[in-house]
Structure 1
Amino acid sequence: DISDREELNLKKQVLYKDSLPSRLLITSESVIHPVFGLINLYTNQSTIQYHLLYTSSTAGSSLNLTLRFTKKNYCPHSHDIFNLRNETYKIRNVVAKYHTLCDNTTSKSSPLLCFVDDDYFCLCDINNTAQCFLYNKKFDQCKQCLAQGQCIKGDIDTPSDYLCLCPRCHFGSKCQHNTKLFSFNLDSLISPDLLSSSLVKQKLSLSMYIIVPAVLLIYGTISNLLSLVTFRQPRTRQNGVGHYFFTGTIFSQLSLFCLLSKILHIIINIRGLFILPIVNTVLCKILSFLLSSSNRICYWLIVFVTIERIYVTIYPTKRWLQKPKIEKRIITLITIFTCASHAHELIKYVIVDDPKYTANGKWCVTQLSRPLQIYNQTNTMIHYLTPFLVNLICTIVLLILIARSRANVDKNKSRWKIFQEQFKKKKDMFIPSMIHIISALPHLIISFSLACSDLDTKWQRYMLIISYFAAYVPQCLSFHLYVQPSQLFLREFHATKMWKTLARSRNTVN
């Protein structure tokens, strides 16, 4: 509509995502429709195309229009017409030439129906004269989007009717999901299934995403309890390996508990179920922090297990690295370093409202500045790649050292035969680190392969989900990885009261 001050006022706005209908029915409460209609096409955050929809004051309660996007009804920017994008000092001089754009006789190309500049929207009238009106291009803007995404409003009276144009490597209703390298999280992976338009898929996904971590937690609780009972025995902690396994078991149990709690928290927020705001915010911060920290502390502890075993293999008579005092200091430093490097999560994780899908829907997201984004990504890569690579290299070196030491004694046997014998004999030295490597490798490869992708195809996202849960398998197998392969640790477990009670119960049943 055009006011007396020649300024455009927005009367009605409709938002379409992905595609437009071929025909459009416009209804109005008044007898006369607005003077003209305009279509804004957003191809990305920086590119907007303006097309004139209609220009007549038609009486009636509705307009039935056919949508066409042609050169004729396209409204170009005056800077593009006069090639002045990079010559701002000439812009004021061309305003006087605006009327020539509407003139059939002076225009070198076909005359225009409309055009825009930074401040005005101009229509060419029947007299070939440009009628320009102040046009606030922020009419259709809003502030719902994260990660510097551009927010486009739909119905002015409906707060949930908006669309976010997300920057590269971000997606979601509020650009809340990040797909940069090693930035995938549970929210971005499972939320599409929980928000599916199919109720059957919603229920199936909900069941699976609760059952899988619940099974990991239940089995892990049994395994970790047996491991803790074993590593409480004094003889198991006469060297550093026992201390590392004891601490790793505690953090394994914590990470499994946080995994299930985090998924339940995501489901509660997406469904819009009621939680006190302060409690919801605390859970958002604490669960994200503990899930990241506890899982990565486990990785670092296994690295030092492998390093200590290399040390013992190279220096069999030295015990400096095996001293309990040294190991406790290393464990303390690992814990402090890992927690401190993730401390920003306690500050930057926040709860944001998202009424787009459910009335009280919410997201637990980070709002990071550009420097913090770089730090967060670098920090994540360090905690993923460094333990993985060090563990892999140390395991290979350990295998080579043991095989070579026996080869000097058993010269009549082939190196491969010696390697097989030593691997079976000392499997307790290799199994924990190898299982951690195997479980982390798929997630590592897939995260690299799908970095900054839109995850449009389901198989990509499901591969990430499977690899994500697979990375937690070692945390629920502590007894099988740390205790069972070792004759010493297994013997100590058989000396515990728990084992004796279990043995008596089994004998009673039999």
Structure 2
Amino acid sequence: MDLSVRLSVVEGGCKSIETLLKLFFYWDAWLNACVAVERGMSVYKGVSFDKEKSKRFARWIIFILPIMIVGTVIHESIHRKMFKHEVKQRKWYSENYNIDEDIEIGTYTWCITSYSQWLQGYNTAVLFIHLLGPFVANLLSALFIIIGTARRRAEAQRQHSYKEHLREQWNEYKQLVISPIILVFLSTPRLIISLLSGCADVSSHTWLYICGYFVSFTPSILIFVVFVLPSNSYRKTFNESFFRICKQRR
């Protein structure tokens, strides 16, 4: 491959890969938050909840959400650039006259971002919004579902106290509270790395930085572990469906 073509490909990846990763990561988080809000609205409206209207809103949200996310992270692609770093080693030619020369032993190309102070503040705000926004939406929706359902059942079934209904709803929907906490915990390493300013020598801890960066993407591929396993009802439904499919194939 021609050198200019190879550099163009590398530069294109530098400007696009990180932005695309953030787009899909944030999109997944906000879609989960929208599902949680819809779940809370269904509990609030009860039998008057309009499913057809909810489907129409969902179509618009799926279309509009990525456009809004791209608008918040597009500045990263604009301010990313390639930086060549030459590694040199000093070589001594004469011990008597102290003649030395720097010899280039390697050249590395880095993808870096350079922000102004204002843009750095904006970037930090965007990171926290995309991290805490879905977390707050999921958490508040889960608490609303648990408390709202317990209150309605306490009014309809007076033979049990409100605390008993609340405990019962917590046991049934506790995964809705646990899952957002797990998601925000797994996203913390990526947030910390994104907030680091300046350059750092990571050559001696390369795998540590790589693992810390990519561990934040695990929620997107561990939906089953995060949402299904903590729930008794979801896990029971999964087991029943799994065994039913196995019996049908036999």
Amino acid at match of 1:397: F
SS at match of 1:342: helix
- Counterpart in 1 of 2:98? none
- Counterpart in 1 of 2:82? 351
Amino acid at match of 2:60: R
Measured in 2, the distance between the counterparts of 1:435 and 1:408 equals 29
Measured in 2, the distance between the counterparts of 1:405 and 1:464 equals 49
Amino acid at match of 1:474: P
Matches within 5 A, 1:113-262: none
Measured in 2, the distance between the counterparts of 1:364 and 1:446 equals 17
Deviation at 1:410, TM superposition (A): 2.9
**Which string of whole-angstrom CA distances, capped at 9 and with x for unpartnered residues, describes residues 164-204 of structure 1?**
xxxxxxxxxxxxxxxxxxxxxxxxxxxxxxxxxxxxxxxxx
**Which string of whole-angstrom CA distances, capped at 9 and with x for unpartnered residues, describes residues 103-136 of structure 1?**
xxxxxxxxxxxxxxxxxxxxxxxxxxxxxxxxxx
Corresponding pairs, count: 220
- Counterpart in 1 of 2:67? 336
SS at match of 1:413: coil
Picking from 293, 302, 326, the partner of 2:57 is: 326
Do the aligned residues in 1 keep the contact of 2:139 with 2:176 (CA within 8 Å)? no
Q: Does 1:281 align with 2:11?
A: yes
Going from structure 1 to structure 2, the CA distance change for 1:328 and 1:305 (only over 3 Å counts) comes to: same
Deviation at 1:312, TM superposition (A): 0.6
SS at match of 1:440: helix
- Counterpart in 2 of 1:400? 147
Going from structure 1 to structure 2, the CA distance change for 1:447 and 1:376 (only over 3 Å counts) comes to: closer
What is the RMSD of the two structures over their aligned residues, measured on CA atoms?
4.1
Going from structure 1 to structure 2, the CA distance change for 1:339 and 1:492 (only over 3 Å counts) comes to: farther
Unaligned runs of 5+ in 1: 1-274
Picking from 180, 187, 200, the partner of 1:436 is: 180
Measured in 1, the distance between the counterparts of 2:79 and 2:176 equals 34
Measured in 1, the distance between the counterparts of 2:196 and 2:107 equals 29
Matches within 5 A, 1:16-165: none
- Counterpart in 1 of 2:128? 381
Q: Does 1:476 align with 2:224?
A: no
Q: Does 1:293 align with 2:37?
A: no
**Higher relative contact order structure (alpha carbons within 8 Å, sequence separation ≥ 6):** 2
Unaligned runs of 5+ in 2: 89-104
Measured in 1, the distance between the counterparts of 2:50 and 2:239 equals 23
Deviation at 1:342, TM superposition (A): 1.1
Measured in 2, the distance between the counterparts of 1:399 and 1:373 equals 39
Going from structure 1 to structure 2, the CA distance change for 1:465 and 1:400 (only over 3 Å counts) comes to: farther
Going from structure 1 to structure 2, the CA distance change for 1:373 and 1:476 (only over 3 Å counts) comes to: same
**Which string of whole-angstrom CA distances, capped at 9 and with x for unpartnered residues, describes residues 423-448 of structure 1?**
444x4xx6356313323136549968
- Counterpart in 2 of 1:364? 111
Amino acid at match of 1:440: V
- The percentage of aligned residue pairs carrying the same residue is 24
SS at match of 1:363: strand
Amino acid at match of 1:359: G
Amino acid at match of 2:45: Y
Do the aligned residues in 2 keep the contact of 1:349 with 1:364 (CA within 8 Å)? yes
